[in-house]
Structure 1
Amino acid sequence: MATALLIVDMQHVFLDMTSPALPNVLKLIDHFKAKAMPCIFTQHGHTKEELTPPYKNQLVRKWGPNGSIAIGSRDWEMIPEVARKAEGCPLVGKNTYDAFINTNLGKLLEEKDVEKVVVCGVMTDCCCDTTARSAFNRGFETWLMKDACGSANKQQHEAGLRGFGFAFGDVLTTSEVMSRVK
């Protein structure tokens, strides 16, 4: 059984939120790749159809078309340092907070015989937390990264970690994961 690293939405639009977490995300990717363990990346975006009225996507209705990420836009692109490390790894396109909904993520994890999922990226209290909870609900042991996730502000980041840690899984640091995943 394998442990997979799930790198959530490390995209240009979230660059400011990733600053403190980015070095640890890159360390985790390097660690998992060195151990030949699966790294799976997600990329959030919306099609032209989703960004055109009537808005069928809930997130587009919530944030509006100007507050949503258009597929192919600069905001949609991966942060260059992360994009380089993503080469050769599965990339899951998603259009909602939960990376399991309307995607092949569950199938990818099953094919790789994954039993444990380590979640890092952005936003701690939206896509990371929602995806981590969904992994837990699907039977995966799930860890959420304390120092390799970012959010709009410290309060939201900590709220996401607290909620997840209370009922779903461990909240760990990069060094803790690197010592546990060998």
Structure 2
Amino acid sequence: MDVVDAYLAEYGRGEQELLQGDRLNGAGIFDGEREFVELADRAYDTDQHGVFRIRAEESALLVIDMQEDLVAPEGPMCVPEAYRQVPRIKRLIQHCRGADVPVIFTEVTIPDDAPHQYRDFFPPIRAGAVSEGTPGMRVYRELAPLAGERVIDTKFGFDSFNGTPLDYVLRQRGAQTVIICGTLTNFCCETTARSAYGLGYQVVFGSDVNATDNAEAQRATLRTMRRGFGRVLDHYAIMCALDGRDEAFEAAASALGAS
């Protein structure tokens, strides 16, 4: 099934309902709805934000919810791919520390007066997972923060900014770019990235250091991030960019004729 057929099937439409060029888009950017859909599909797989350079002195690394209960194989809410990504995330953390990039951790916490119905949606939470004050809510042992590294432990939902001091912490450190890794890709990581973008930060989203429990959801988030919210790069490309070797930026700048 090609992208247009899939698009029609999703909305329960037929080929005959597609708008033609003379009825769509007076600017003439595309010739009809078929081309519109095909161009959009390609755009979701094309870096739309290569025009900003990743600079170590303006960046901060956000390690989202890599906690014992969510990462450890014996944890009640273990995300297996998050566990497997620990060596990559550890490498990225160490690289950031070496480049003087602040590393900030978040811990999602479910207090007794949680503002959402988490216990209704997630049986492990109902059984006590990531409950406030428990060992399982702490950063996974292999990624333990160093003394002086900030841990945002007042995060009661998917958004790392909502009701927490994260925005203040980032601005105090002079961060203009946030690099996001962690779990789950399509919940806390994506929600945090969207909020960061809305607050005016440049967003870098790690393609191989964000994990979730569903392949389609992973791909959907990466495509949406890539098209509308930030740069999507693997952890190696992020480390290279922090070292001043931002090849995607150089290529984009060259294409635009920028210096």
| TM-score normalised per structure 1 | 0.88
Aligned equivalents of 1:66, 1:169: Cα separation in 2: 35
CA RMSD of aligned residues (A): 1.8
Aligned equivalents of 1:139, 1:169: Cα separation in 2: 11
Identity within the alignment, %: 27
> Is 2:220 the counterpart of 1:159?
yes
SS in structure 1 of the partner of residue 136 of structure 2: coil
Aligned equivalents of 1:20, 1:166: Cα separation in 2: 27
Aligned equivalents of 2:218, 2:84: Cα separation in 1: 12
Aligned equivalents of 1:60, 1:111: Cα separation in 2: 35
Kept in 1: contact 2:183–2:211 (CA 8 A): yes
C-alpha displacement of 1:154: 2.3
Kept in 2: contact 1:17–1:122 (CA 8 A): no
Deviation by residue 1:109-150 (Cα, 9 ceiling, x = unmatched): 110011100000000111001101110111111011001111
More off after superposition, 155-164 vs 111-120: 155-164
Amino acid at match of 1:57: H
C-alpha displacement of 1:105: 0.2
Amino acid at match of 1:124: T
Superposition pairs of residues 26-175 of structure 1, within 5 angstroms: 26-50=90-114, 56-60=115-119, 62-63=121-122, 65-66=125-126, 69-83=130-144, 85-93=145-153, 94-175=155-236
Kept in 1: contact 2:130–2:137 (CA 8 A): yes
When residues 60 and 107 of structure 1 are mapped into structure 2, their CA distance, relative to the original with a 3 A threshold, is: farther
| TM-score normalised per structure 2 | 0.63
Amino acid at match of 1:129: E
Name which structure has the greater RCO, CA cutoff 8 Å, separation 6+: 1
The number of aligned residues is 176
Aligned equivalents of 1:12, 1:81: Cα separation in 2: 10
Displaced runs of 4+ in structure 1, greater than 6 A? none
Q: Which runs of 5+ in 2 are unaligned?
A: 1-56, 72-79, 244-259
Structure with greater strand share of residues: 1
Q: Which has the larger radius of gyration?
A: 2
When residues 45 and 108 of structure 1 are mapped into structure 2, their CA distance, relative to the original with a 3 A threshold, is: same
